[in-house]
Amino acid sequence: MADVLVRAATEPDLPAVLELYRHLHPHEPPLEPATAKPVWSALLASGLTTVILAQVAERLVSSCTLAIVPNLSRGGRSYAMIENVVTHADYRRQGLGRRVLQHAIALAWQADCYKVHLATGSHRESTLRFYESSGFQRGGKTYFEVRRP
Amino acid sequence: MLKIFGAAGSGSVPIEAMLTLLGIPYEVIEAVTWEDEAARQRVEAVNPLRQVPALVLPSGEVITESAAILIHLADLHPEAGLAPGLGDPRRAQYLRWMVYVSAAIYAFVWIIDDPMRVGADKEQALSMIDRIHDRRADCWRMMDEQIAPDRYILGDRLSVLDLYVAVVSRFAPGRARFNRSAPKMAEIVRRIDADPRLTEFWSKRFPFNAGWDQ
């Protein structure tokens, strides 16, 4: 397998990220570029979020989004959340998702976060084990969500 | 947060480029040490050599020497893949060329900035600088002849060595001469100059102004 580079996303990455996101929610229609562009700019400029990408040669093959949230508890130490973990279907089981998660965790520790949490909608044991092997503990807290009606 | 004592167009730039690429926040304490005594005094607090770059870790520990800083940061982030790891067969050549760029090429900056430091009188200074430029160009040539690059110096993946060469090759005698001396690396640094992931960064920290490559 070719060498992998894991890095932070920049403005010109948007089309390739949208293409990669087809592998995140395959049944959702892709976002129109005109809709995506301001969202992407806000995401990159927020100062709190980092989109992490893995690329093989010049192709983006895996990604996750890290949010670092300032926090008044825990001695003022921030916490981090990871969302939108995705690997291109042709590149799975090669450790690429693990690499982007490792970089997200490294950035969180660099920012002196006291924890990183992540939720997955998957019930597949293999997916849950993937997160465990990346350092996350299952069942640490009970997760709730409410979706907009 | 990481603090870098550095300056636009200086040896801090490859470090800043690496951190930008990886999305690691950092603060630059601007110090144009080769022009400004006050800047040298600012840097002296962390580096007795009164030179940039110097990196201050969150723990307060200081690392100087651009190659050492790049190697250390790349090793701290093995997941990013910006350097061959300990078990990688390219590791030895990676270390060799990182130190070579620093010791054989970059280090002459101390004399170029002020030839009187090594006793040259004003008449000798210009010819001494010319000879240093010749030596630098020759060192680039010898490096170029001994590497077997792919898209990048160590293979098909960008490494901190590429960022280092892309910046140091812009120091005197300049990129035009570098391109003639090191045609294989010339192609690689042009790719890095044009890398869309770094466009905004270069424009702020080492812009390609008119005539920059002369």
- Please tell me the distance from the alpha carbon of residue B165 to that of residue B83, in angstroms, as a whole number: 14
pLDDT digits (tens, 9 = 90+) for A109-147: 999 999 999 998 888 999 999 999 999 999 888 888 899
Helix, strand, coil abundance in chain B, percent, nearest 5: 55, 10, 35
CATH of domain A4-133: 3.40.630.30
B84-143 confidence digits (pLDDT tens): 999 999 999 999 999 999 999 999 999 998 888 888 788 889 899 999 999 999 999 999
Q: Is the peptide bond before A15 cis (omega within 30 degrees of 0)?
A: no
The span from the CA of B182 to the CA of B139, in Å, is 9
pLDDT band, residue A3 (cuts 50/70/90):
confident
Show the domains of chain B with their CATH numbers: 2-80 (3.40.30.10), 91-195 (1.20.1050.10)
Angle at A23 (CA atoms; ends A22, A27), nearest 5 degrees: 65
* Residue in B with minimal Cα distance to A99: B79
Distance CA B4, CA B173 (A): 26
Chain B residue with minimum CA distance to A51: B23
More confident residue, B213 or A49: A49
Segment B151-161, tens digit of pLDDT: 999 998 899 99
Question: How much is the ipTM here?
Answer: 0.84
A7 close contact with B: CB closer than 8 A: yes
> What tokens appear for B65 in the block?
């020497």
Q: Can you tell me the mean pLDDT for B16-25? A: 96
With beta carbons less than 8 A apart as the criterion, state whether B94 and B159 touch.
yes
pLDDT of residue B38: 92
Q: Pick the residue with more confidence: B73 or B213?
A: B73
Tokens 């709190």 locate to A48
Q: At B95, list the tokens.
A: 């270390």
User: Of the candidates B23, B197, B199, which has its C-beta nearest A107's C-beta?
Assistant: B23
Distance CA A51, CA B145 (A): 39
B157 touches chain A (CB under 8 A): yes
- Cβ–Cβ gap B156/A57 under 8 Å: yes
pLDDT value at residue A2: 59
Q: In what order do the strands lie in the sheet with B54-56?
A: B26-30, B2-6, B54-56, B62-64
The string of pLDDT tens digits covering residues A15-71 is 999 999 999 998 999 899 899 999 999 999 999 999 999 999 889 999 999 999 999
pTM of the complete model: 0.91
- Asked if A107 has any chain B CB less than 8 Å from its own CB, the reply is yes
Every domain of chain A and the residues it spans: 4-133
Digit-coded pLDDT (tens) for B52-75:
999 999 899 999 999 999 999 999
**A1 pLDDT more than 80:** no
Peptide bond between residue B53 and the one before it cis (omega within 30 degrees of 0): yes
- What confidence score (pLDDT) does residue A77 get? 97
pLDDT the model gives residue B154: 96
User: To probe the interface with A, which of B24, B79, B157, B163 has the most A CB atoms within 10 Å?
Assistant: B79
**Which of A5, A50, A112 lies closest to B23 in CB terms?**
A50
